[in-house]
A = this chain, B = another copy of it.
Amino acid sequence: MKKIEAIIRSEKFMDVKEALEKRGFYGMTVTDVRGRGRQKGMQLQFRGRVMEIDLLPKVKIELVVTDEEVNDVITIISDYARTGNVGDGKIFIIPIEDVVRVRTGERGEKAI
């Protein structure tokens, strides 16, 4: 089992979520984060003085899936989160040793 951690643009989240849902990936955990990378921030003003913001709001989606599903999920997320501009985000694949469903105590793949 793997945990897929995708950091994407906030404004693409809804599309990604719907695409995942259509392919049967319903469970997920979402966090609001701020990130920076190649994307160089943006300019805001405060009382007429310009400033540079270098941490931009992003959404982090965490999905735990079986090993076989990993590539599917990666493809879906990449497809739907992409705009082609810097700042589209990253997907990290992290090994998961075990999963427990709190409600039933089930373990392993059937608990996902």
Contact = CB atoms under 8 A, between A and B. Distances in A.
Interface of A: 2-3, 6-8, 26-38, 55, 58, 60, 64, 74, 77-78, 81-103, 105, 111-112
Copy tally for this chain in the complex stands at 3
A37 B30 contact: no
B94 A102 contact: no
Given A94-B95, A95-B95, 11 more contacts: A27-B37, A27-B90, A28-B37, A74-B100, A88-B101, A90-B99, A90-B112, A93-B98, A93-B99, A93-B100, A94-B94
7 contacts: A3-B92, A26-B36, A27-B35, A74-B100, A81-B102, A90-B100, A92-B98
A70 to B, nearest CB: 8
A64 B28 CA distance: 21
Q: Which 7 A-B pairs have the closest CB atoms?
A: A88-B103, A27-B37, A91-B100, A88-B102, A93-B98, A29-B35, A93-B97
